[in-house]
Amino acid sequence: MNFSRNGREKPRILLVEDNPGDIRLTQEALKESHTDVHLDVVTDGEQAVDFLYRRGKFADAQRPSLILLDLNLPKKNGIEVLKEIKVDASLKKIPVIVLTTSDADHDINKAYSLHANCYILKPVDFDDFAKVIRLVESFWFNTAKLTSE
């Protein structure tokens, strides 16, 4: 178990993202923020589902406090992943932040219909990207109260 400096359990973020550049950007953005979080990364939709259900090589995976989900993913896309998360009695309580380049209405609508907790467009600029990550962290980890069950 990882503990942060103030002794509380570190919040865990699961990043579902296939682009190594975006993974790195997220890591950079988290580095710049003040909240201490643990980041797990999976690079396709199937791995995301396996991770959450602790299957195969993810048997020891820990339940994330928050999921950052890209939509355009290999094997299983983000929408399919979202569908599987939100029908599970336990997993559906984990906030899912869709983080994507798609500003198509049907994607936004679909994501919220499937109970995504938030839909964010990936900013083009790094500073804006870092800001978004900071806002997400500050809202979900410092303002909102989450359940760990």
Partner 1 sequence: MIPEQFKTFFDTYTEAVLVTDDADAPVYMNAPCRELTGFNGGNVAAFPIADISKVKVNYTPANDKKNGRWECSYKRANGNELWFKVSVSPLPVDGKNWKIYTLSYNPAHEQLRETLQLSESRFTSLADETPVMIWMTDHTNLTYYFNKSWLDFTGRKLEEEVGTGWFQGVHPDDTQVFNDIGHLLRNNINYSVEYRLKRHDGQYRYILEIGTPRFLPDGSFGGYMGSCLDITEMKMAQVELAAQTKELQRSNEELEQFAYVASHDLQEPLRMISSYVQLISKRIESGKTEGLGEYMQFAIGGVNRIQALINDLLQYSRVNRKGNPFAPVDLNEVMKIVTAHLMNRISETGAKVTFGEMPIVNGDSFQLIRLLQNLTENAIKFKVPDRTPEVHVFAEDRGDYWKIAVKDNGIGIDDKFYSRIFVIFQRLHAREDYEGTGIGLAVCKKIVERHGGEIWVESKTGEGSTFFFTIKK
CA distance linking residue 115 with residue 112, whole number of Å: 5
Q: Is 104 in the site for partner 1 (CB under 8 A)?
A: yes
Angle value at C-alpha 117, between 7 and 14, nearest 5 degrees: 50
- Interactions with partner 1, residue window 9-68 (CB under 8 A): 18-22, 24-25, 28, 43-44
- The phi and psi torsions of 2 (rounded to 5 degrees) equal -95, 135
The neighbouring-strand residues paired with 100 are 121
Q: Is 110 in the site for partner 1 (CB under 8 A)?
A: no
Among 126, 135, 142, 144, binds partner 1 (CB under 8 A): 126
Among 129, 133, 136, 141, binds partner 1 (CB under 8 A): 129
Among 4, 55, 57, 74, binds partner 1 (CB under 8 A): 74
CA distance linking residue 37 with residue 41, whole number of Å: 13
CA distance linking residue 77 with residue 73, whole number of Å: 5
**Residue 56 or residue 74: which is nearer to partner 1 going by CB?**
74
List of residues contacting partner 1 (CB under 8 A): 18-22, 24-25, 28, 43-44, 72, 74-75, 101-102, 104, 122-127, 129
